[in-house]
Amino acid sequence: MTATPASNGRAAHGPVPIVSRGEDMAVAFGQVLRGLGLAVPIGSVIQFAEALGLVGFDRRDGVYWAARSTLVHRPEDLGLFDRAFAVFWEQHGGHRDGPNEEEPMRITIAVDEGDENDDDPDSSAPDDDPTLQLRFSATEVLRHKDFAAYSDDELHEAHELMGSLRFAGPPRRSYRMRPSRHGSAPDIRATVRASLRAEGEPIVRCWQEPGERLRRLVLLLDVSGSMEPYARGMLRFVHAAVAGRQRVEAFALGTRLTRVTRELSSRDPDRAFQLATARVLDWSGGTRLGDCLHRFNDDWGVRGMARGAIVVILSDGWDRGDPDVLAEQMQRLSRVAFRTIWVNPLKVTPGYAPLARGMAAALPHIDAFVEGHSVAAMEELAATISATGGRGIRSTHGGESHRWERSEPRARAAG
């Protein structure tokens, strides 16, 4: 009753025993989920086994909800969980009259690394044992994997995924006018030029309207010690934005403010990473978010960089400085920015609440509070940046434990 690992160029995971008792079923399914990259602690497996003792094994819905309520802790894991459970139940669901009636089963977890049609990875397995094969895409597993668990090779693959992201954002009105058939302002120059073809008679009247331009995107990345597990993955995201979009500015937040836009403009991600880390002298040091934002507002905000821009702060909210300073600077920033988004990699943690002093001080002055622990979370961030958005705080995966509302909407920046 063991599984033969998949081979033939695909990643596979080890033997998983399958028997009819609830404890062994819980352990086996927990191993399947871990093999697919889901975080399943031993306490959750124990709770699943206890739940099986209450709901039994006859009804699929009962077993499904027992597994989902105890083994799934992140909304983005539901897709993988549902697919794994469907195959698992099809081969092993329902009640067995006795242990002798259950045939030994082999489980193969095959992670596809390409689109080519390879041979059956379990072709060497004995023909007399039923086989349960779960096939998943390596890209899909990587998209949902936590940045803190990435290897160097996975960081390269993640950058390729994030390189395809688009950060359009809502446009802003420009002072420059553009021709329009339905414009509200007369275009005198175009009208005069057209009249020259009619011996000076303004037969054709031309109109114009205000044009549109891409909003500036400002990215502020926390590179303090507490962000070390996530800073590498997030820096790849910042590089993808700088290299793939016009009007993007990037800064590093630590004990000081460091502009890294020029360093991250290189098309080579490894070169950009080396230049940026060499530029930031306080990488993995302390963090003073309030002081850094104070300098940003004074040195760059007053120059117009943040006015009408989409400002994204990537930080866990841990701050050694005065929270009142952070609250004051966030209020200044929110008054001029079109939209302020805070990305916190810790938000995915079950039961998370913004209790850190810095996070609690900044929360009333942001428009969106989102996760940032994986490529999938970065894809949602790109969608949030591109959305027109409204006032007030919006939290992705907006369950009751993840929603915070502002009682009064703040004033918006013009444009």
Q: What does the pLDDT look like over 107-123, one tens digit per residue?
A: 555 555 554 444 444 44
Would residue 159 count as lying in a domain?
Answer: no
| Strand pairing category for 131-137 and 207-213 | unpaired
| Residue 220: per-residue pLDDT | 97
Would residue 331 count as lying in a domain?
Answer: yes
Query: Cα separation of 215 and 415, whole Å?
Result: 10
Q: Verify that 364 and 387 share a domain, yes or no.
A: yes
Q: Verify that 241 and 387 share a domain, yes or no.
A: yes
| Residue 292: per-residue pLDDT | 95
| Residue 17: per-residue pLDDT | 39
Would residue 295 count as lying in a domain?
Answer: yes
Q: Verify that 233 and 209 share a domain, yes or no.
A: no
Which of 165-169, 187-191, 212-216, 327-331 shows the lowest per-residue confidence on average (mean pLDDT)?
A: 165-169
| Residue 342: per-residue pLDDT | 96
Domains: count for the chain:
3
The pair phi, psi for residue 11, each rounded to 5°, is: -75, 145
| Residue 5: per-residue pLDDT | 41
| Residue 196: per-residue pLDDT | 83
Indicate the helix (H) or strand (E) that contains 178: strand 172-179
Would residue 168 count as lying in a domain?
Answer: no
| Residue 58: per-residue pLDDT | 76
Q: Verify that 244 and 385 share a domain, yes or no.
A: yes
| Residue 92: per-residue pLDDT | 64
Who wins on pLDDT, 132 or 208? 208
Give the mean pLDDT of 153-175.
77
Neighbours of 8 (CB within 10 A): 13
Q: Verify that 33 and 94 share a domain, yes or no.
A: yes
Would residue 309 count as lying in a domain?
Answer: yes
Q: Where does a domain end: 156, 188, 213?
A: 213
| This model's pTM is above 0.75 | no
Distant-in-sequence, close-in-space partners of 151: CB < 8 Å, separation ≥ 6: none
DSSP, collapsed to helix, strand or coil, labels residue 378 as helix
Q: Verify that 288 and 316 share a domain, yes or no.
A: yes
pLDDT beyond 90 at 21: no
Q: Where does a domain end: 164, 192, 213?
A: 213
Indicate the helix (H) or strand (E) that contains 111: strand 106-112
Would residue 154 count as lying in a domain?
Answer: no
| Strand pairing category for 368-371 and 394-395 | parallel
Indicate the helix (H) or strand (E) that contains 329: helix 323-336
Q: Verify that 56 and 190 share a domain, yes or no.
A: no
Q: Verify that 193 and 221 share a domain, yes or no.
A: no
Q: Verify that 207 and 227 share a domain, yes or no.
A: no
Would residue 163 count as lying in a domain?
Answer: no
Q: Verify that 330 and 374 share a domain, yes or no.
A: yes
Q: Where does a domain end: 187, 213, 239?
A: 213
Indicate the helix (H) or strand (E) that contains 340: strand 339-344
First-to-last alpha carbon distance for the chain, in angstroms, is: 66
Any idea what the CATH number is for the domain that residue 357 is in? 3.40.50.410
Mean pLDDT, the chain, rounded, equals: 77
Range of the domain at 206: 173-213
Count helices and strands (H / E) in the chain: 13, 12
Q: Verify that 398 and 292 share a domain, yes or no.
A: yes
pLDDT band at 166 (very low <50, low <70, confident <90, very high): confident
- Could you read off the pLDDT of 221-239 as tens digits, one per residue? 999 998 998 998 999 999 9
Give the mean pLDDT of 280-293.
92
Indicate the helix (H) or strand (E) that contains 210: strand 207-213
pLDDT beyond 70 at 245: yes
pLDDT beyond 70 at 15: no
Percent of the chain with pLDDT over 70: 75
pLDDT beyond 90 at 403: no
Would residue 164 count as lying in a domain?
Answer: no
* Helical residues (DSSP H) of 337-400, grouped into ranges: 357-362, 375-386
Give the mean pLDDT of 252-256.
94
pLDDT beyond 50 at 401: no
Indicate the helix (H) or strand (E) that contains 272: helix 269-279
Give the mean pLDDT of 332-350.
92
Who wins on pLDDT, 397 or 334? 334
DSSP, collapsed to helix, strand or coil, labels residue 339 as strand
Q: Verify that 289 and 381 share a domain, yes or no.
A: yes
pLDDT beyond 70 at 4: no
